[in-house]
Amino acid sequence: MSGEGDKPARTLRSQAWFGRQDKMGFYYRSFLKNRGIPQDQFEGKPVIGICNTWSELNPCNSHFRTIAEHVRYGVLEAGGFPLEFPVSSLGEVTMRPTAMLYRNLAAMDVEEAIRAHPLDGVVLLMGCDKTTPALLMGAASADLPTIGVSGGPQLRGVYRGQMIGSGTNIISMSEQLRAGEITLHEFHEAEAAMNRSSGHCMTMGTASTMASLVEALGVGLPQNAAIPAADARRNELARMAGRRIVRMVEEDLVLSKILVREAFENAIRTLGAIGGSTNAVVHLLAIARRVGIELSLADFDALGRGVHCVVDLMPSGRFLMEDFYYAGGLPVVLRALGEAGLLHKDAPTVNGRSLWENVRDAECWNREVITPLETPFKPESGMAILRGNLAPDGAVIKPSAASPELMQHTGRAVVFETIEDLHARKDDEDLDIDASCIMVLKNCGPRGYPGMAEVGNMPIPKKLLRQGVRDMIRISDARMSGTAYGTVVLHVAPEAAAGGPLALVRNGDLITLDVAARRLHLHVEPAELEARRAAWTPPPPAADRGYVKMYIDHVQQADQGADLDFLVGRSGAPVPRDNH
């Protein structure tokens, strides 16, 4: 490969495999020639890995063979040599107990696949919730030139003339079915109407949040966030990514040059401006720590202040990702942040331009969908980070999803020791609970419910629902779905299963939530807490072998990104020694 000007030509990493004129070179080239690849493809072309999470078990990514083809066209057009490879795919609705249990496993798969193979650059194909952080984490630790391409959201759901978003009305319709108010045929009809095209969830849930953050981090091309999967322009974006990654290899624009601290700060503010998922907090922490950036929960609190949500999207608003794209997409939001002084304008992006150069001319075509920052859809939409004797290492609440009247409240704890305990007792007519109580759920953190399930938005007990109660304070070490809502304190750290103070809460204890003061306090004297701690025994581990045991033994707490301790950081992409 020729260098620019008088710069010496850089040696491609892939030439350690394909550039050898010996026994091993024969092996490396010869076996790939079984597909009819000509010799000239091995002679100095940048080899681009297309890291594909296609899977029929992950419906959100089931169109990725098509996306990969368009990346391949782009790589070929730019003079590269594309090689597609599969990695674990994590289907949010299909995997049990929770796809999050496998995020770190998939990240390990991605990292090692990149490092083990003759690749010079990588295009990451990601869509469903956990596929995005998993691929970014793995690729960050390998640190080759990398572009992220999201698969795009589904088209709007439409049922009987009504626009419906991913997840909308599932609970109410299943209740209606149980009550005989709708037929099974209607139920099935609604299923088909909600998910009527390829793509991931089309509300501003975790998948759309993460696709937006890929763009805000500078890892994706402009408009990565919102072009629907079914829109031809999604394929065009994939093709342009294929072209661009070849140039990035020539420029040695590795991922760690994009994932700088300013990029993460931009992503945190973007998270507030799009009213994004609380899950993004855990994922951004984990990605940052892969590249050695000490992002902390305090950064989310500090940077999120003064950021307002400007997108009127479900689950909290009216519109869907398709509408967001037609209104101008994420560049409009980023431009607004930049004009308000809330963006690091010089942050680099994969197309070689700064983030500001990419978005400064963005125009909005629908001010109902993307509101001006001065008249936001929801004010103060950044995450609030709570601390106190109940969460010494922090807890997360999304104030814009909470009830204002509960933001400062002291209530009596009603404790559920496990998720099974919650399921067994929540609708018990004899449960001693009223609307002023605080529901506490233990043992659902990274270690306790391996994978930190999305169960933090506990259902309101039926007897309170009948009284018209629609929200209560709920506290746990769990996560919640990006499409969920309520006054829900999540990610309490340390978690109960790790011996955090959450494990010591008992029925009847008083707890104070004060969001303005960022405080979460358990009104129990230190001596009493110590006595309870002495009597506490950790729950038995959920597994004694295999990956789940390794996960339990090594997973970090939510405030550190819930990564495995030995995966934090990066090793880069040194060429492994050959096997002869």
Let me know if 27 is exposed, middle or buried by CB neighbors in 10 A (0-12, 13-18, 19+).
middle
Task: Tell me how many degrees the CA angle 232-234-239 measures, rounded to the nearest 5.
Answer: 100
Pairwise CA distance, residues 412 & 207, whole Å: 35
CA 267 – CA 276 distance, rounded (Å): 11
In the complex, least distance from residue 107 CB atom to ligand FES, rounded to whole angstroms: 17
Nearer to ligand FES among residue 207 and residue 503 (C-beta): 207
- Closer to ligand FES by CB, 84 or 92: give it: 92
Nearer Cβ to ligand FES (205/461): 205
Alpha carbon distance 422, 333 (integer Å): 40
CA 134 to chain centre: 8
* CA pair distance 86, 54, nearest whole angstrom: 7
The CA distance from 204 to 324, in Å, is 10
Q: Give φ, ψ of 432 to 5 degrees.
A: -85, 85
Closest to ligand FES by CB, 12 vs 128, is 128
Q: Answer yes or no: are the C-beta atoms of 60 and 54 closer than 8 Å.
A: no
Beta carbon of residue 328, minimum distance to ligand FES (angstroms, whole number): 23
* Percentages (nearest 5) of helix, strand, coil residues in the chain: 40, 15, 45
CB nearer to ligand FES: give 70 or 130: 130
Q: Which is nearer to ligand FES, 92 or 301 (CB)?
A: 92
What DSSP letter does each residue of 244-265 carry, written as one string?
Answer: HHHHHHHHT-BHHHHS-HHHHH
Instruction: Report the nearest approach of ligand FES to the CB of residue 269 (Å).
Output: 23
Q: Which is nearer to ligand FES, 92 or 322 (CB)?
A: 92
- Is 428 within 8 Å of 410 (Cβ atoms)? no
Query: Smallest distance, Å, CB 230 to ligand FES?
Result: 15
Place of tokens 């500001």: 356
Q: Which H/E stretch holds residue 82? A: strand 81-86
Smallest distance from the beta carbon of 264 to ligand FES, in angstroms? 23
Q: How far apart are CA 293 and CA 203, in angstroms?
A: 30
12 contact partners, CB below 8 Å, separation of at least 6: 1, 19, 44, 46, 47, 120, 249
Q: Of 283 and 521, which has the nearer Cβ to ligand FES?
A: 283
Nearer to ligand FES, 29 or 479 (CB): 479
Output the six-digit token pair for 562.
């819930």
CA–CA distance, 148 with 168 (Å, rounded to integer): 28
Q: How far is the CB of 67 from ligand FES (least distance, A)?
A: 15
Q: Smallest gap, in angstroms, from Cβ of residue 165 to ligand FES?
A: 11
Of 483 and 487, CB closest to ligand FES: 483
Query: Which two structure tokens, joined as six digits, stand for 66?
Result: 């098509």
Question: Least Å distance between CB 133 and ligand FES?
Answer: 13
CB of 166 to ligand FES, least distance (A): 6
CA–CA gap between residue 416 and residue 396 (Å, rounded) = 20
β partners of residue 49: 83, 122
Our CB check for ligand FES shows the closer of 205 and 500 to be 205
* Cα-based angle 253, 258, 259 (whole degrees, multiple of 5): 140
In the complex, the smallest distance separating the C-beta of residue 421 from ligand FES, rounded to whole angstroms, is: 27
Cα 485 from chain centre? 17
Q: Minimal distance in Å, beta carbon 478 to ligand FES?
A: 18
Of 55 and 270, the one with the shorter C-beta distance to ligand FES is: 55
Footprint on this chain of ligand FES (rule: CB under 6 A): 60, 92-93, 128-129, 166, 200-201, 205, 207
Query: CA–CA separation, 60 vs 225, rounded Å?
Result: 15
Q: How far is the CB of 138 from ligand FES (least distance, A)?
A: 19
Can you say how many angstroms the Cα of residue 548 is from the centroid of all Cα atoms in its chain? 21
Stretch (H or E) spanning 234: helix 232-251
